[in-house]
A and B are shown apart, each in its own frame.
Chain A
Amino acid sequence: MRRIVRIASWLYALAVYGFIFLPVVVLVLFSLQATSFPIPPFTGPSLRWYDAVLSDTRLTSALLNSLLVASISSLAAVALGFLSAWGFARFVLPGSGLLRGLITLPLTVSYLIIGMGLLVLFNWAGVPKSLLAAGIGHVVINLPLCFAIIYSQMGDHQINIERAARDLGAPEWKVLLLITVPVMAPAIFAGFFLSMTFSWDEFVISFLLTRFDTTLPVEIWNLLRSGLNPKTNAVGSLVFAVSIVLVVLFELTLLRRRKA
């Protein structure tokens, strides 16, 4: 009886992980297809479709655009998130609870609504559809995340450390730069890498807010409109690989903090 339960639980775990990872495995597998259709039987392995992706300037420039938007919007989100977290943690503000709620509110709003809202707003303000507009959209979705991560790590135990720095003659900006930022570095990096991950494969906002220069997910969508081929698998696998790297970096920074 006990053995049956054990086997059943293994099967269940296998089914769950299979459900989650099988599509990815299929995607990666058929990106190595040697023939023109990403359907069984598997004819690879071959890197011809990766070659095709890297020689497609539309895809490579979209990839660079994505990296640019992800890194700059994440920097902005983490900087703003850090400053707001510090402000809320260190100063008594009127209606602090309400304001904190408002900052994290975008986490609960769908990307579609945020994207449409920004589209209407930018239209009205005369900001053209561009990578900048998409980047601002990514700051909007990632700032609450960075704020929440950094604020949760900003405990009272750092107050005395900041006080000590002030006591030893540090002006406020040096306290922030030399003490608070390094002490908070794990949370700041975690916020940054998570923002990068989200910005990197974000589609809806980029789709609504860019036109000629666009990000990789939007370019992949363009590609998909002409039907499936192993090239889309290859580019999808590349996106997945970068996401994995970012998530691993995020986990590592969190892990290092716990050890310290």
Chain B
Amino acid sequence: MTAPLVDIDSVSHRFGQQTVLKNVSLKIEPGSYTILLGPSGSGKTTLLSILGGFVTPSEGKVFIRGVDCTSVPPAKRPTTTVFQDYALFPHMSVGSNVGFGLRMQGVDGATRAARAREALALVGLASSFDKKPHQLSGGQRQRVALARALVIEPAVLLLDEPLGALDLKLRRQMQDELKAIQKRVGTAFIHVTHDQEEAMALADHCVVMNDGRIEDEGPPERVYARPATRFSATFMGESTILAGTVTEASDRTSTVATPVGPVSLPSALPQGSAVGLAIRPEHLVLGAAGGGVRLGSAEVSDVVFQGSFKRVLAVSVEDPSLQFIARLPASAAVQPGDTVAVSCDTDQIILLTD
């Protein structure tokens, strides 16, 4: 196996008294699209700044292409950053903006212009070469920032909430373009976001962060289907979480006592341990034609029509502190106030042991 492109080794960082990263280790493979996903304050942006060289970590090391880059300044490391506010040079034309990195490398004017044009063509802005940044729309500025960062062929491209300032429609469109561009250039992208839909749509490798730690990482499909922790089960998509205690355990199955009754699971668990059972909204069944596991009954408190589906909130009759979040077909006939049976299939239950 080849060495990883980026190797973050036990990095911790403190701002004053506050610890924002706690012993984070992460490996990035060449050509991958990695998303750092987390709420604000989770340390994801700090981690990106450490990768870009704008912050030197209090502890730990960062290797890029096997070279220790921990305290190498941004100018001298093979990374470039696409800033959240784009940070285009307002006094320069779009072409000069894109050519700036090459100019700093001492590339001559003609080659610079040719390569800047190529990079602009890559992001679909070939005709804007002579414009000034203020003449462009938000989405176009974003693309110029991308072209400017890509033209010097970095080992890793860092994107700091690149779509955060765009409206929803444009965001989805740029999202598709980002992915396409990444596939075309083959550069490893590391992208910070708090938008889980963005994460699922873009990532080859999804890193869920919370409170300065990596909660979970892997392909987004895996992280969604089998989240490793309670946090990632609720942050990467929604889940209903049942708290339970293992009451019976054999070598193949265990029974977990929950407020809505016992649930038996096909896995071996230590008896007496506390666990969480997470169920995705699309896997909860409301009504008579139930799944294999009965979860008591619940009173529907809210039904939100969302176009292709209905999002239903229902309060458990057995345990009023428990709220089920379910996703039903748009045609489902449920009303607030209905009392329905709740169930799901055994193999859809996600076991959380943290």
Q: Which of A59-67, A122-130, A157-165 contacts B (4 or more CB under 8 A)?
A: A157-165
- The answer on a CB contact under 8 Å between A165 and B52 is no
In angstroms, Cα B89 to Cα A170, docked, is 13
Residues from chain A with a CB closer than 8 A to the CB of B6 are: none
- The answer on a CB contact under 8 Å between B91 and A170 is no
In angstroms, Cα B87 to Cα A35, docked, is 64
B158 nearest in chain A by CB position: A167
In angstroms, Cα B105 to Cα A138, docked, is 41
Number of A-B contacts (CB under 8 A): 61
We find that the number of chain B residues with CB closer than 8 angstroms to chain A is 25
- The answer on a CB contact under 8 Å between A163 and B74 is yes
We find that the number of chain A residues with CB closer than 8 angstroms to chain B is 18
Contact with A along B210-230 (1 / 0, CB 8 A): 000000000000000000000
Residues from chain B with a CB closer than 8 A to the CB of A157 are: 85
Q: Which of A76-84, A93-101, A179-187 contacts B (4 or more CB under 8 A)?
A: A179-187
- The answer on a CB contact under 8 Å between B83 and A168 is no
Q: Is the CB of B100 closer than 8 A to any CB of chain A?
A: yes
- The answer on a CB contact under 8 Å between B80 and A168 is yes
In angstroms, Cα B75 to Cα A174, docked, is 12
- The answer on a CB contact under 8 Å between B81 and A170 is no
B134 nearest in chain A by CB position: A260
* A207: min CB distance to chain B, Å: 42
CB < 8 Å: which of B52, B90, B105 contacts A169? B105
A169 nearest in chain B by CB position: B104
Q: Is the CB of A227 closer than 8 A to any CB of chain B?
A: no
- The answer on a CB contact under 8 Å between A160 and B89 is no
CB < 8 Å: which of A160, A169, A182 contacts B101? A169
Q: Is the CB of A41 closer than 8 A to any CB of chain B?
A: no
* B135: min CB distance to chain A, Å: 12
- The answer on a CB contact under 8 Å between B89 and A183 is yes
In angstroms, Cα B336 to Cα A224, docked, is 95
- The answer on a CB contact under 8 Å between A163 and B87 is yes
A162 nearest in chain B by CB position: B87
Q: What are 19 A-B residue pairs whose CB atoms fall within 8 Å in the complex?
A: A160-B83, A160-B87, A161-B87, A163-B74, A163-B87, A165-B89, A165-B100, A167-B53, A167-B75, A167-B149, A168-B80, A168-B100, A168-B148, A168-B149, A169-B104, A169-B105, A174-B104, A183-B89, A183-B91
Report, nearest first, the 6 A-B pairs whose CB atoms are least far apart: A168-B101, A169-B104, A160-B87, A164-B87, A182-B91, A167-B74
